[in-house]
Amino acid sequence: MPASSGFKLEEMKPNFREIRRYPLVEPFASAIIAEDEETGELMYYLVEQSLTKKENEVYNAIYKLVMMELPPPADIKKLENPRNVLSREIKRILDRYRGLIRGTKIDLNKMAYHMEKDLLGFGPIDAIMKDENIEDISADGVGAPIFIFHKDYETIPTNIVPMDAQALDDFVSKLIHMAGKHVSVAAPIVDAQLPDGSRIAITYKQEVSPGGSTFTIRKFKATPITFTQLIQSHNISPEIAAYFWLMLDNHKSFLVLGVTGAGKTTFLNAMATFLRPNLKIITVEEVPEVRLPHKNWIRLTPRLSFGPEKTNEVTLFDLVKATLRMRPDYLIVGEVRGEETYVLFQAVNTGHGGVSTMHAEDFTAAINRLTSPPMNVPKAYIPAMNIFVMVRRVRVGERLTRRVTEVGEVQSADEVRTVFRWDPKNDVHVLSGQSFLLREIAETTGQDEEELEEELRRRTRVINWMVEKNMMDFHEVARMIERYYTKPEKVLAEVEGIAEVETT
């Protein structure tokens, strides 16, 4: 059966009024944000060109024929334009089975849209998976609306409702199959990564969730968010970006702290762009999310195994330990939460650069967690992770957004000196303390602190210029950073408008 079967698109309730509309898949699907005029409750409505009753009968018949006659969906996806392939195949089948459509007007483009989303896409949620405004999608069970987290409206229900338990079970099974994993009543909880990079967590049937199968998808952005975008959205300031640029250029390590969904990996990825392009970098992640412009980059992921004996399992701990023999200039661990943390801190204490994220509410809580089981990092190792960064979801006016709220330099396990702090009243980042790392860099490199401070100002000017020029593309930003490392004078001349310079 088509993946959309068993899911209902509810029509807009009469007490709701449309406050925003935008296209998702033109001309077949669009999104409407509507508001209850009495309560102010918001609702996300997916509006699709639906099939008529007769068209649906024909569609179901053609769907079976296409399933029998077409190559597997995985092979179709490899083609340059899967939708055109499907459209041609539908026409071919319709020509062969004209008796199916006698007296019926068929819109082949609409048919191809539904066929594509059911065969190659995400079925009932395919259109909202294409909505760049949505960060999370979750289903709570049969009869409950699917919820989304919208970047402008936070958590709101949709009009997509799974009405049939078997359909929801089948859909969850399809999602897990797309991720290359297996789910069953024996193993009803699965975390995986979808082909587009999104993370999915599911529970199967009523084994652990009485309301039926559930899923939560944390969507993956096709292109990484850049530091220029973080500045544009006021997540960070140009001065903070320049500070990290200088620190990473001088082999300093940092740990990003925050709760789930605060934007830790986003910040880490944006700052990693500042790493010199000739460095050897190794990333270790449970789910690959970090993306870098560097050529000398090794990406490692653990290999899980099922069963009580965990035969041939390769854990984060195993991978982080293995990287020490690979001599990375920088080791990036997507998230630390177990014994691999100790190995990471060993690495930064022996001269490797280290970057990671961790769940913590503040700097004190972070150190308490680091020095307690199962991490067990000795207090003497803590200062080797030079910088702590606090990232939070905050409310600015009526809008929930993300901000780096504090940047601190780790002097000891008992003291983290705040350098930058977010002022919530004015929504600005302010310099709140003197950097002792600048003095440390000056002592080890032979430079004066004044020279380093001037270099900070130069890099801040470059960053401001990039934002003014609307350089938001990941690859464009990476190229500009690489140019600064190779020809800083030319870049500064371009920024200052002193001379006409080559831009390639």
- If DSSP states are collapsed to H, E and C, what string results for 73-117? HHHHHCCCCHHHHHHHHHHHHHHHCHHHHCCCCCCHHHHHHHHHH
b vs e for 186-198, b when ≥16 Cβ sit within 10 Å of the residue's Cβ? eebebebbbeeeb
pLDDT band at 281 (very low <50, low <70, confident <90, very high): very high
Mean pLDDT of 262-270: 95
Minimum mean pLDDT among 37-46, 171-180, 331-340, 367-376: which range?
Answer: 171-180
Mean pLDDT of 270-282: 96
Note the pLDDT of residue 342: 96
Note the pLDDT of residue 63: 82
| Rounded distance between C-alpha atoms, residue 75 and residue 82, angstroms | 9
pLDDT digits (tens, 9 = 90+) for 404-419: 999 999 999 999 999 9
| Rounded distance between C-alpha atoms, residue 339 and residue 344, angstroms | 9
Note the pLDDT of residue 104: 66
Q: What stretch of H or E contains 387?
A: strand 387-396
Strand arrangement of the beta sheet that strand 16-25 belongs to: 16-25, 29-36, 42-48
Instruction: Residue 88: name the closest of 108, 104, 106 by CA.
Output: 108
Minimum mean pLDDT among 16-25, 58-67, 71-80: which range?
Answer: 71-80
Q: Is the pLDDT of residue 78 over 70?
A: no
Higher pLDDT: 289 or 69? It is: 289
Higher pLDDT: 224 or 215? It is: 215
Q: Is the pLDDT of residue 73 over 70?
A: no
pLDDT band at 465 (very low <50, low <70, confident <90, very high): very high
Contact of 58 with 100, CB cutoff 8 Å: yes
Contact of 300 with 330, CB cutoff 8 Å: no
pLDDT digits (tens, 9 = 90+) for 318-332: 999 999 999 999 999
Percent of all residues in the chain with a pLDDT value above 90, rounded to a whole number: 73
Instruction: Residue 190: name the closest of 212, 207, 215 by CA.
Output: 215
pLDDT digits (tens, 9 = 90+) for 97-119: 666 666 667 777 888 888 888 88
pLDDT band at 94 (very low <50, low <70, confident <90, very high): low
Instruction: Residue 368: name the closest of 336, 409, 407, 414 by CA.
Output: 414
| Rounded distance between C-alpha atoms, residue 220 and residue 199, angstroms | 7
Q: Is the pLDDT of residue 93 over 70?
A: yes
Note the pLDDT of residue 346: 94
Q: Is the pLDDT of residue 90 over 80?
A: no
What's the whole-model pTM score? 0.83
| Rounded distance between C-alpha atoms, residue 299 and residue 283, angstroms | 5
DSSP β-bridge partners for residue 417:
409
3-state secondary structure of 10: coil
- Tokens 């007490």 — which residue? 15
Percent of all residues in the chain with a pLDDT value above 70, rounded to a whole number: 92
| Rounded distance between C-alpha atoms, residue 381 and residue 363, angstroms | 15
Q: Is the pLDDT of residue 502 over 50?
A: no
- Per CATH, the number for 227-435 is 3.40.50.300
Q: What stretch of H or E contains 298?
A: strand 297-300
Higher pLDDT: 121 or 308? It is: 121
pLDDT band at 294 (very low <50, low <70, confident <90, very high): very high
| Rounded distance between C-alpha atoms, residue 297 and residue 275, angstroms | 12
Boundaries of every domain in the chain: 7-218, 227-435
Mean pLDDT of 3-31: 93
Q: What are phi and psi of 217, to 5 degrees?
A: -115, 125
| Rounded distance between C-alpha atoms, residue 327 and residue 494, angstroms | 37
- Tokens 């310099």 — which residue? 431
Q: Compute the mean pLDDT over every residue in the chain, rounded to the nearest whole number.
A: 90
Q: Is the pLDDT of residue 504 over 50?
A: no
DSSP state of 52: P
Minimum mean pLDDT among 50-64, 168-182, 304-318: which range?
Answer: 304-318
Q: Is the pLDDT of residue 236 over 50?
A: yes
pLDDT band at 309 (very low <50, low <70, confident <90, very high): low
| Rounded distance between C-alpha atoms, residue 88 and residue 96, angstroms | 12
Q: Is the pLDDT of residue 499 over 60?
A: no
pLDDT digits (tens, 9 = 90+) for 379-437: 999 999 999 999 999 999 888 899 999 999 999 999 999 999 999 999 999 999 899 99
- Tokens for 276? 């010199």
Q: How far are the Cα atoms of 49, 133, 300 from residue 19, in angstroms, in the given order?
A: 21, 15, 45
The fold of the 7-218 domain, in CATH, is Beta-Lactamase (3.30.450)
Using CA atoms in the order 166, 171, 172, 174, what is the torsion angle rounded to 10 degrees?
Answer: 130
